[in-house]
Structure 1
Amino acid sequence: MTKILRKYFHQPDPNNTWIRNPFSCDIEKIKNLSEQEQDELIDLVTNGTMKNIFNDKKLIDFWLIVQNDQKQLAEKALRHLIPFCKTYRCEQAFSTYCYMKNKFRNRLNID
């Protein structure tokens, strides 16, 4: 059972703990951030207002608010939190295309 669950639910990446809680992570240990993103994370962590917003809002809503001030950092977090956005649009477009091209499209109904 554990093996099956591990197939679908991987262990969380320790480099992405800043996304779940930016106020309790060790910034020096995060390896996947650029210098600009690290600076934005430091600015975010030192902002007391943002900490209050983090405690009051859902995680996705928090990062959408952060996007106004720290664009690069928020975009990286949102890409991690919403990975299915692009694939959903692609599947939706393909489904519409298949519907338009199905066998009923070329059939002439005279009733």
Structure 2
Amino acid sequence: MEIIELQNNNELKAKYNNLSLLDFYKLYVHAEDFPILRRHALKFASLFGTTYRCEQFFSKLTLAKTRFHSRLTDSNLENQLRVASSSLPADIRRLAKEKQF
């Protein structure tokens, strides 16, 4: 019923055509108007993001293990993967200046 209601709303149809799918759901498919549709959209949107992040992480793990295989310990691997999977940019120049004697 929620999908039928959404399809029959001309104002929402016009907004749908002018936005990306995720932006449309974020801005116009509210939980109080379309609770079931909103819940399903959030599930599917998060599914692909987490799958992508997992694939990225395992690619970095494979790269780290092949490049540093002989010198890799559990703690080194953990630290390297923590940095590789972080969304914060590293300021390498500042960090190197702080470590110089």
- What TM-score bracket applies, with the shorter chain setting the length? 0.3 to 0.5
Q: TM-score under structure 2 normalisation?
A: 0.42
Radius of gyration: which is bigger?
2
Greater fraction of residues in helix = 2
